[in-house]
Amino acid sequence: MLEWLQMQAVAQKLTNRVPGGLRARDLDEPWRTLFRRVEPAEDPAMFGRALWKATVGLEDRNALVDAVLEVLPSILPTIPSLDKMAADLPPIEWVWPGWLPRGMLSLLGAAPGAGKSLVALDLARRVIHREPFPDSARRADALEDASRAETATFPGGNVVFVDAEAVPQIQNERASAWGMDRSKLYLMLPKDQYGLIDFNDTADQDRLLEMVFELQPHLLVVDSLSSITLKGENNVEDVRAVLSFLSAVAREFDLALLLIHHLRKRGKALPMMDLVTADDFRGSSHIIAMARSVLALSIIQDGPEPDRNGPRRLEVVKTNLCRYPPALGVRFEDNGQAAPEIRYGEVPKPHREPTKAEACANWLLELLQEVGEPMQPKEVIELGKEVGFKQATIYRARKELEGTVGNTAGKKVRRNSWEHVG
């Protein structure tokens, strides 16, 4: 055992904090003898006297006493329990309950062109105008008195949007199309026209801090991680400093911070329209680890052909703070303006090719509807063979359609026919 650890063992016994299982025989001399002899002392003023008494007859007595006293500062401070810390811990608060916590880092990821920035700006619009969030949850501090909920109006909060990709025209056109109060939307752009934002640089850090201090925003959107650092994203060392800075900003100014991030490149093994998971985010796993809430926006193929303008699925794919909220369906509806209208609702169901039995059931139902009168099973079976359905498949489909397709007589009656009754 290292000598420093043996000194510490004596100091721990002196302060009555001996780790379970530690015995004198585990130590070397002279620490073994000193460990056996020393008696715990409750009063720190008595530590020296207790050590002096325990070192009687040992060589280099003064040196032994001094050595133990030197390690005492690392032993003496009381480590607070969670119970003692609890009184000073603030409760978890939300800008968007279940999705965007205050004072913490949140992440939003999606495939290129899926609409990350558009959704982020729509959330900013809701904060500015104090409108309900997509799941109809209001900010907790928006309603001081629930009885006034129907008539109360509230001033909007400021939003800072770090447009590190430096295309303010896009944000302006979208905000204008939606009728946003642009006086409460503040863009942070690169200082130089053709420059970059680098939050590893203290100058850019100070610029953001000045904006946040002055404006006291409820929401800070950073678009995007790859555009706010000149370092890479694959190593912990490359992302730790910038993420720690952003986390500190969220914490110190008690705001929700939404950092937009990209996904790994998707090939045939990972199609664009697969559901996004936390494992799909680009770069070091430390990025996901530091975010308290991770949102994913997935494009859903709800028809036989892929459609980039199709519906989306917005969901929380990682949270440390609460139960996972239900996912939301998102649709971008063209309204002839610079920005589509965003509608939230039911989560779209992914398209899948029907099974043989399902295809047969659809065919049978369409056949009976088209004919408009009952048909005997043998007639149906003959027509089914012509389009590739076997007798067993047709009977299985008929069973699935029970209640929509009925019998005109008993099943075993020869004159029985099938008819559409739905």
The alpha carbon dihedral of 145, 151, 152, 154 has a sign of positive
335/360 same-domain check: no
**Tens-level pLDDT at each residue, the chain (422 residues):** 688 888 888 888 888 877 667 888 889 999 999 999 999 888 887 888 899 899 998 988 888 998 888 888 665 555 678 888 888 888 999 999 999 999 999 999 999 999 999 999 999 999 999 999 999 754 444 434 433 333 334 457 999 999 999 999 999 999 999 999 999 999 999 999 889 999 999 999 999 999 999 999 999 999 999 999 998 898 888 898 899 999 999 999 999 999 999 998 866 544 566 899 999 999 999 999 999 999 999 999 998 888 989 999 999 999 999 999 999 999 999 988 889 999 999 999 998 888 898 999 999 999 999 999 999 999 999 999 999 999 999 999 999 999 999 999 887 788 899 999 86
pLDDT given at position 173: 96
Confirm whether 189 is domain-assigned: yes
pLDDT given at position 304: 86
Confirm whether 82 is domain-assigned: no
Confirm whether 80 is domain-assigned: no
**8 A C-beta contact, residue 383 and residue 367:** yes
Domain boundary among 74, 103, 133: 74
118/55 same-domain check: no
70 CB-near residues (< 8 Å, 6+ apart): 7
394 CB-near residues (< 8 Å, 6+ apart): 360, 364, 377, 380, 381, 384
56/165 same-domain check: no
Confirm whether 293 is domain-assigned: yes
pLDDT given at position 104: 96
58/98 same-domain check: no
Q: Residue 383 CA to chain centroid, in angstroms?
A: 54
**8 A C-beta contact, residue 280 and residue 300:** no
63/102 same-domain check: no
**8 A C-beta contact, residue 171 and residue 332:** no
247/372 same-domain check: no
336/373 same-domain check: no
pLDDT given at position 74: 62
φ, ψ (nearest 5 deg) of residue 50: -65, -40
Q: Which domain covers residue 413, as residue numbers?
A: 356-420
Confirm whether 351 is domain-assigned: no
Domain count, the chain: 3
Give the distance between the most distant pair of CA atoms in the chain.
116
Confirm whether 278 is domain-assigned: yes
Q: Could you tell me whether strands 312-319 and 293-299 are parallel, antiparallel, or unpaired per DSSP bridges?
A: antiparallel
pLDDT given at position 140: 43
Answering whether pTM is above 0.85, one says no
Q: How far is CA 310 from CA 171, 297, 317, 329, in A?
A: 22, 12, 21, 11
- ω before 30 within 30° of 0 (cis)? yes
pLDDT given at position 153: 40
Domain boundary among 345, 372, 406: 345
